[in-house]
């Protein structure tokens, strides 16, 4: 292990030296949208691996809004933009007529560099002439994405016949867009171990404004309403280092489903009618459960804006389940009704939103206030109260868990943008008033997060984060289950240095401490990251990670750069080294090729994994290839 590890370190350091020595020979590279998105996602995703979030970001890119003509509420609906940024943009437009370049926004004190990058990705300043009133096929765009990935080591499940398919994971997606008015999407996905390349498949047809004010979608789609208590999609951010924006959901209503995840989507049809005074949406979804169960979901959403700073919405939804006896005679029928009310008030430097959802006689509610104070200070406070008997199949309200029931919590977040950086702080105090799946008694806990980001010198960015969680959990002590407090502390220090327009270095140190009555565990993770833009067409990204933790309980998550559309945030535990290389190549205008090789080496292990996923040996390596073609 020692010789191999030394060789890896030497090779990695040699690559850094070679790349750095060629600084003067490189030209400016184009802005890498993927890198911007990966940073946004990492801020919002502390401990989960969810590719659907990447699909959400891509949807915002594919359907940008007009920054010069969108109102304040539309700007605030973009992920991670707050009322202070929206107010600053609206005021700048009022004072200067319009925004001609994103570089103009740098002169506005209340808009951070990160916010400008978000606006560049999710908005446009001026439509190209060809996109205005063009004919049906004049602005036809077709996007094809094909991806192949596979673990090189063979798992036990393939040897003993448990997995009947091949170890390859295969993904294909076709998107057709005609001038934003008609969109068609087809997706097939095969996970490792599955037999058919279309084990999961989805499709949709979207017609937008073919008839003025009407949006229709058929096939696979999602519905988002309010703050997600009764109805939401699988696209849901968790608590992150951004203290003031991650807790506020931005409902998009009807949207096509473009992910390969096999949950929380709808299949059927939906439409929305929009006028200057109100919006009306209707949706119907059908599906099948087990061999003797069918289930349908349908409902209506009505939105009214009586005055320009107040928006009111109401949802009525029925989840219908029919249970059949021997597949023929109806045995029983269950209708579950959901009624929900949502409000949004945007007035000056104040944004207030909330939702009240009713299921049978149970109530769940959340109310959130975002306020801009003085100069460059934003405060968010939120109170949530979810009844123990409240349920919703599609609910994903903000909270310590995504179950949206049996929880009461108070959240306070502060973001301060002084002249010397950005400070984020939040405190979340929560309790579970009744027993839940993990603890048969009431329990409680709290989280504290503090982060500080600054650029002390040009081309250098420093980042520090402290996170602490105190939570009551059920543990086995001396053959007896007892409730005890689990305290987790995490420290992260990160340095990003832009050597040139072609080379960027990123270094991280992360420490973890886990303490309970009978447990005291530690963990450490270090990585060095190099991104090299050889030219406008070719980039290379490499990282080497060293980690050491006492067990899985003290695991540390490590967000990785990956192929476009793939989100990788694995939990590393035990002792080992992981490294990967990511290549992205744009040989011609409409073709984009990317490839990744990753390797995990755990010297103290005889096997990696368990059960049918067990790999004999201490190396787990994977290769992935993707082609994106637009025409």
Note whether 80 and 118 are within 8 A (CB).
yes
Percent of the chain with pLDDT over 70: 85
pLDDT at 289 (0 to 100)? 47
537/412: higher pLDDT: 412
Q: Which two tokens stand for residue 603?
A: 């010297």
Note whether 338 and 359 are within 8 A (CB).
yes
- Taking CA atoms, 230 is separated from 119, 238, 264, 597, in Å, by 30, 17, 12, 41
What values do phi and psi take at 491, rounded to 5?
A: -125, 130
Q: Tell me what the mean pLDDT of segment 214-240 comes to.
A: 89
* Structural domains for the chain: 42-127 (1.10.150)
Nearest to 254 by CA among 230, 272, 234: 272
Quick one: residue 406, left, alpha or beta (phi over 0 = left, psi -120 to 50 = alpha)? left
Confidence tier at 546 by pLDDT (50, 70, 90): very high
pLDDT at 44 (0 to 100)? 60
Note whether 139 and 179 are within 8 A (CB).
yes
Q: How far is CA 625 from the centre of its chain?
A: 22
Q: Terminus-to-terminus CA distance in the chain, angstroms? A: 48
- Taking CA atoms, 168 is separated from 184, 226, 597, in Å, by 27, 39, 14
220: which strand partners?
267
Cβ neighbours around 600 below 10 Å, total? 21
pLDDT at 333 (0 to 100)? 62
pLDDT at 488 (0 to 100)? 95
Residue in this structure with the two tokens 């979030």, named with its chain if needed: 53
Which residues have a Cβ under 8 Å from the Cβ of 17 and sit 6 or more positions away? none
Q: Tell me what the mean pLDDT of segment 458-464 comes to.
A: 91
Note whether 292 and 264 are within 8 A (CB).
no
Q: How far is CA 577 from the centre of its chain?
A: 26
342: which strand partners?
313, 355
- Taking CA atoms, 191 is separated from 35, 259, 446, in Å, by 26, 13, 37
Measured distance CA(581)–CA(543) in Å, rounded: 7
Nearest to 320 by CA among 299, 298, 335: 335
Nearest to 271 by CA among 209, 351, 321: 209
Measured distance CA(171)–CA(168) in Å, rounded: 10
Break the chain down into helix, strand, coil percent, rounded to 5. Answer: 15, 50, 35
Q: 580-611: per-residue pLDDT in tens?
A: 999 999 998 889 999 999 999 999 999 998 88
* Helices and strands: H and E segment counts in the chain: 7, 31
β-pairing, 123-124 vs 65-66, is: parallel
pLDDT at 33 (0 to 100)? 56
Confidence tier at 290 by pLDDT (50, 70, 90): very low
Q: How far is CA 462 from the centre of its chain?
A: 24
The helix (run of H) or strand (run of E) holding residue 466 is strand 460-477
Measured distance CA(341)–CA(77) in Å, rounded: 18
Judged against a pLDDT cut of 70, whether residue 144 lies above it is answered with yes
Q: 176-205: per-residue pLDDT in tens?
A: 988 778 999 999 999 999 988 889 999 999
pLDDT at 138 (0 to 100)? 63
The helix (run of H) or strand (run of E) holding residue 564 is none
pTM as predicted: 0.84
Nearest to 291 by CA among 255, 338, 327, 342: 327
Judged against a pLDDT cut of 70, whether residue 6 lies above it is answered with no
Confidence tier at 209 by pLDDT (50, 70, 90): confident
Measured distance CA(223)–CA(255) in Å, rounded: 7
pLDDT at 410 (0 to 100)? 96
Q: Tell me what the mean pLDDT of segment 417-437 comes to.
A: 88
Cβ neighbours around 130 below 10 Å, total? 10
Half-sphere exposure of 298 (CA within 13 A, CB side): 9
Note whether 579 and 598 are within 8 A (CB).
yes
Q: What angle do helix axes 33-44 and 113-122 make, rounded to 10 degrees?
A: 120
Note whether 328 and 335 are within 8 A (CB).
no
pLDDT at 50 (0 to 100)? 56
What values do phi and psi take at 24, rounded to 5?
A: -70, -15
pLDDT at 15 (0 to 100)? 45
Note whether 193 and 164 are within 8 A (CB).
yes
Helix (H, G, I), strand (E, B) or coil at 522: strand
Q: What is the mean pLDDT of the chain?
A: 84
Helix (H, G, I), strand (E, B) or coil at 506: strand
pLDDT at 128 (0 to 100)? 53
Q: Considering only the C-alpha atoms of the chain, give the largest distance between any 2 of them, rounded to a whole number of Å.
A: 77
Q: Which two tokens stand for residue 305?
A: 């804006």
Q: Tell me what the mean pLDDT of segment 143-168 comes to.
A: 91
pLDDT at 292 (0 to 100)? 44
344: which strand partners?
311, 353
């Amino acid at each position: 292990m020692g010789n191999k590890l030394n060789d890896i370190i030497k090779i990695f350091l040699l690559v850094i030296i070679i790349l750095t020595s060629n600084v003067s020979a490189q030209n400016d590279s184009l802005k890498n949208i993927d890198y911007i998105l990966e940073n946004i996602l990492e801020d919002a995703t502390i401990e989960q691996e969810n590719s659907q979030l990447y699909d959400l970001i891509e949807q915002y890119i594919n359907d940008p809004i007009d920054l010069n003509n969108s109102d304040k509420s539309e700007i605030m609906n973009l992920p991670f933009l707050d009322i202070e940024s929206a107010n600053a943009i609206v005021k700048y437009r009022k004072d200067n007529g319009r925004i001609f370049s994103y570089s103009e926004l740098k002169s506005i004190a209340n808009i951070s560099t990160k916010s400008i990058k978000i606006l560049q990705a999710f908005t446009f300043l001026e439509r190209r002439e060809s996109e205005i009133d063009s004919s049906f096929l004049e602005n036809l765009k077709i996007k094809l994405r094909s991806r192949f990935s596979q673990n090189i080591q063979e798992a036990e499940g393939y040897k003993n016949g448990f997995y009947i398919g091949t170890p390859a994971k295969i993904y294909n997606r076709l998107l057709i867009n005609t001038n934003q008015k008609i969109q068609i999407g087809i997706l097939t996905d095969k996970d490792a171990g599955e037999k058919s390349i279309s084990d999961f498949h989805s499709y949709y047809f979207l017609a937008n404004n073919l008839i003025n004010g009407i949006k229709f979608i058929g096939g696979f789609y999602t519905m988002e309403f309010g703050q997600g208590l009764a109805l939401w999609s699988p696209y849901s951010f968790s608590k992150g280092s951004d203290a003031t924006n991650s807790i506020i959901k931005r409902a998009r209503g009807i949207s096509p489903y473009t992910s390969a995840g096999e949950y929380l989507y709808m299949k059927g049809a939906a439409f929305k009618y929009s006028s200057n005074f109100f919006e009306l949406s209707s949706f119907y979804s059908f599906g099948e459960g087990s061999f003797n169960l069918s289930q349908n979901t349908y409902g209506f959403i009505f939105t009214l804006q009586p005055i320009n700073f107040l928006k009111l919405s109401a949802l009525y939804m029925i989840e219908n389940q029919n249970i059949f006896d021997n597949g023929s005679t109806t045995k029983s029928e269950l209708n579950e009704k959901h009624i929900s009310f949502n409000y949004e008030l945007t007035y000056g430097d104040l944004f207030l939103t909330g939702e009240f959802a009713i299921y049978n006689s149970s109530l769940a509610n959340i109310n959130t206030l975002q306020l801009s104070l003085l100069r460059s200070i934003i405060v968010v406070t939120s109170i949530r109260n979810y009844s123990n008997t409240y349920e919703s199949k599609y609910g994903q309200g903000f909270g310590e868990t995504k179950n949206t029931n049996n929880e009461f919590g108070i959240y306070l977040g502060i973001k301060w943008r002084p002249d010397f950086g950005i400070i984020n702080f939040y405190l979340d105090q929560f309790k579970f008033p009744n027993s839940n799946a993990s603890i048969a008694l009431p329990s409680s806990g709290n989280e504290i997060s503090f982060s500080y980001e600054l650029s002390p010198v040009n081309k250098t960015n420093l980042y520090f984060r402290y996170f602490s969680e105190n939570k009551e959990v059920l543990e086995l002590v001396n053959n007896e289950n007892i409730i005890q407090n689990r305290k987790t502390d995490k420290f992260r220090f990160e340095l990003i240095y832009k050597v040139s327009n072609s080379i960027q270095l990123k270094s991280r140190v992360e420490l973890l401490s886990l303490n309970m009555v009978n447990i005291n565990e530690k963990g450490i993770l270090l990585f060095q990251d190099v991104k090299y833009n050889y030219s406008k067409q070719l980039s290379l990204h490499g990282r080497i990670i060293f980690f050491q933790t006492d067990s899985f309980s003290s695991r540390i998550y490590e967000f990785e750069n990956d192929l476009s559309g793939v989100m990788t945030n694995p939990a590393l535990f035990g002792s080992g080294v992981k490294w990967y290389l990511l290549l992205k190549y744009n040989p011609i205008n409409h073709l984009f090729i990317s490839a990744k090789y990753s390797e995990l080496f755990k010297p103290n292990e005889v096997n990696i994994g368990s059960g049918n996923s067990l790999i004999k040996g201490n190396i787990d390596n994977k290769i992935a290839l993707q082609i994106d073609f637009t025409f």
